[in-house]
Structure formats: structure tokens, C-alpha cells
A = this chain, B = another copy of it.
């Protein structure tokens, strides 16, 4: 929000910014009932990044996506369309798919218990021995649908019956990273982490670099921490960029580029690392030479699964020499991620203290106040402080 140079109002902030910005009260990290409320009002209501389109490139491929206590089947029909379904049979409630990913053998989804069969769009095809008539209409037993949103090769899902408009929610991103050709990029590498902290702590950690000098010596060398500029400062999409220092070519162990610039990336973007969070579970970071993103899955009030992916152009992925060089970026981010996870877990532990009510953000962290407000607004706790 960059309080020193700009006025909040000018940049679309329509709430009163208090002179001393408090952090979220500790109960937002400790209360099981607030966590349940978050599942209901955020994870089961907002747009959740599920996967990349390439992961279900072929018809009948599917993924099962855990969202809180729910499980969602995301699959591609023989018509090429992507469908989402609650992973629960309408007959007696059996979970249908038990694997993380797979491919249906036919154009149908079959419950393993009593063999009810649905087509890939979720319509009930066969319920053995159930006669259709006054008492039973197959059309009443469609798999519960999950809404699908597509952007830049990402598949988003929304579990609510009347979702907020996808294009409105993601508006600040649409058209923003055209130069990267996101849609055409493919997963080059994946890192998987399990963390013992609340999901919000990771989002906060991602949006401020006040911690960088102490926590990330190498990152701070490549991108000076006071160079952070936020241009999205309210709503579901929040973020900005940092500048690579002169002579520094990329976020790698040696500060050289990980490869050539992506697609049409030019000008200022050749020296910028972007950091955007798409509330509540995507952290997106276009670099000049690759795109990094984190997919966050909340598995409990103090536990998350975080999968970190690197996207490259398929030509680069096929190029062994380039991929070899690219490992330097993977190594750099794996190291930097772990530096973050450590302090995020320490924060979760500290917030167990009943003596601590809430803290206070510095000027360097003012964007977190916007992030916290997005949480409170989603929960309907506008007066949560």
C-alpha cells in the first residue's frame, strides 16, 4: 500500500485505514470454531485453484481435489470440456474415487459400492434395478456439480451453489500476464511440503519482505527488500513486484538467469519478480524466465499442504541442457521456501500464547492489513479486531 508515496483512497481503498494497524487477533489462528467458519465461508464458497489444465489434458483423466472435508472430482469429458463434481454418490453417500489421479475406463464414473454409474458430466446413467417412474427420476440424482473457472491454464473450482462471478473475482489478473503466455506453459518441476501452520500465515508471509533481510540472505541480495511495490491492494487478488538488483539476472543460486525470458516478456518485466496471491489458495509468481506458483491446501487449523510448481515453455522442458541449468532456480526456491516455513511455524506456535492478544504491523507490512480485511470480510467479521 506504500503509505509514504501514495494515498490509500486514490488506489481504491474504501475503508478507513487506522493509524496503527493491528494484526489479526490470535483467535483467528487458534479457534476451531472460527476455522470451521473459514471452511464454510471461504473454502466452500470462494474460487479455489485446483490444478493445471494439462493435468487432465486427455478426456476421462481425473483428479480428486481435497477442499477441507470435501473431495471434488475434476475431469475432462469426451467433449473436451472440464467438469467438476462432489466426489460422493447420490445413492448412499459413498466416496466414488479414492485415488489422487487416474483415468476412467469408460465414459462413465462408477460408484464402487452399488455400481451406480454417472456420465462424465455427472448425469446418472444407470442405477441397477431402480425402475424409473413416479417414485424415481434419474434426473433427480445428478452428481452434485462444482463450478469451473479457467484462466491462464489454471483450473479453479467453486463448491458453492451460487458462486461469485469468476471473472469479477480474478479481474485484476485478467490480461495482466499476457506476455508470459501462461496458457501454453507446462509444469517443469514440483516441490511438496507439509507445514504446521495456519493457511493465512503463508499468505501473509508471501506478501511482505520486511522479514527478508533476516530470513532470506540470498533473496535479499538479488532483490532489495525495500523495493517491493504493490499495485493490487484490495480484494481477492493482492500483490506487486520486486526489482532485481543491477547485475542480477534471476532468482537462482548464483543470481544468473535460469533460462531465456519466457515468450514475450520484455522491458521492465525482465527485471521484475511478481508476487500475487489469489485468495485463498494460489500464490502466483511470474519471473522473467519462469513462473512459480504455490497451491495451498488447508488440512486443519494448524496444518497445510503446500505444493510449489515451476512452469516453463514445453520447448525448454524438452531441452536437457536448459533443464539442467534450471535446477539452480529450483534449488534457490526450495531453500527460500524452507526459510519461510520455519518462521511461519514459529509464528503458529507463538500464537498459542494467551498473553498475546494481537500485534502490530509495521509500515513495511501494510498490505497484510488489506489481506486480513479480506479474511474478515469473507467471514462477515468486519468488526473482528
Binding site for B on A (CB under 8 A): 19-20, 23, 26, 44, 69-71, 86-96, 98, 110, 112-115, 127-130, 135-136, 141, 144, 159, 210-211, 213-215, 342-343, 346-347, 349-356, 358-364
- Once the chains bind, are A362 and B210 in contact (CB under 8 Å)? no
* A20 to B, closest residue via Cβ: B135
Least CB distance from A200 to B in Å reads 12
- Once the chains bind, are B364 and A93 in contact (CB under 8 Å)? no
Q: Once the chains are docked, how many angstroms separate the CA of A63 from the CA of B212? A: 27
Contact A19 B135, CB 8 Å, known A347-B94, A359-B92? yes
* A339 to B, closest residue via Cβ: B112
- Once the chains bind, are A69 and B359 in contact (CB under 8 Å)? no
- Once the chains bind, are A363 and B129 in contact (CB under 8 Å)? yes
Report which of B90, B96, B114 forms a contact with A210, defined as CB distance below 8 A.
Answer: B114
- Once the chains bind, are B214 and A356 in contact (CB under 8 Å)? no
Report B-chain residues with C-beta under 8 Å of the C-beta of A215.
112-113
Q: A26-B93, A94-B346 are in contact. List 17 more A-B contacts (CB 8 A).
A: A19-B135, A71-B353, A88-B353, A90-B356, A90-B360, A91-B359, A91-B360, A94-B350, A95-B349, A112-B215, A113-B347, A114-B211, A114-B214, A129-B362, A129-B363, A129-B364, A130-B363
- Once the chains bind, are A346 and B98 in contact (CB under 8 Å)? yes
* A86 to B, closest residue via Cβ: B355
Report B-chain residues with C-beta under 8 Å of the C-beta of A20.
135-136
Q: Once the chains are docked, how many angstroms separate the CA of A130 from the CA of B26? A: 22
Q: Once the chains are docked, how many angstroms separate the CA of A213 from the CA of B20? A: 66
- Once the chains bind, are A71 and B113 in contact (CB under 8 Å)? no
In order of increasing CB-CB distance, the 3 nearest A-B pairs are A95-B350, A115-B214, A95-B349
* A91 to B, closest residue via Cβ: B359
Least CB distance from A228 to B in Å reads 13
- Once the chains bind, are B113 and A355 in contact (CB under 8 Å)? no
Report which of B69, B87, B98, B350 forms a contact with A354, defined as CB distance below 8 A.
Answer: B69
Contact A70 B352, CB 8 Å, known A210-B129, A211-B113, A363-B129? yes
Contact A95 B135, CB 8 Å, known A88-B353, A114-B211, A114-B214? no
Among A127, A342, A354, the one with the most B-chain Cβ atoms within 10 Å of its Cβ is A354
Q: Once the chains are docked, how many angstroms separate the CA of A352 from the CA of B66? A: 12
Q: Once the chains are docked, how many angstroms separate the CA of A361 from the CA of B355? A: 39
Report which of B70, B353, B359 forms a contact with A353, defined as CB distance below 8 A.
Answer: B70
Report B-chain residues with C-beta under 8 Å of the C-beta of A354.
44, 69-70
- Once the chains bind, are B113 and A214 in contact (CB under 8 Å)? yes
Report B-chain residues with C-beta under 8 Å of the C-beta of A94.
343, 346-347, 350
- Once the chains bind, are A347 and B44 in contact (CB under 8 Å)? no
Least CB distance from A120 to B in Å reads 19
Report B-chain residues with C-beta under 8 Å of the C-beta of A88.
350-351, 353, 355-356
Q: Once the chains are docked, how many angstroms separate the CA of A361 from the CA of B342? A: 50
- Once the chains bind, are B90 and A355 in contact (CB under 8 Å)? no
Least CB distance from A177 to B in Å reads 30
Among A23, A87, A95, A129, the one with the most B-chain Cβ atoms within 10 Å of its Cβ is A95
- Once the chains bind, are A69 and B353 in contact (CB under 8 Å)? yes
Least CB distance from A354 to B in Å reads 7
Report B-chain residues with C-beta under 8 Å of the C-beta of A159.
355
Report B-chain residues with C-beta under 8 Å of the C-beta of A114.
210-211, 214, 362
Q: Once the chains are docked, how many angstroms separate the CA of A97 from the CA of B91? A: 45
The 28 sampled A-B contact pairs (Cβ below 8 Å) are: A20-B136, A44-B354, A70-B352, A86-B355, A86-B356, A91-B362, A92-B347, A92-B360, A92-B361, A93-B347, A93-B351, A93-B356, A93-B358, A94-B343, A94-B347, A95-B347, A113-B211, A113-B215, A113-B346, A114-B211, A115-B211, A115-B213, A115-B214, A128-B213, A129-B210, A129-B364, A144-B355, A144-B356
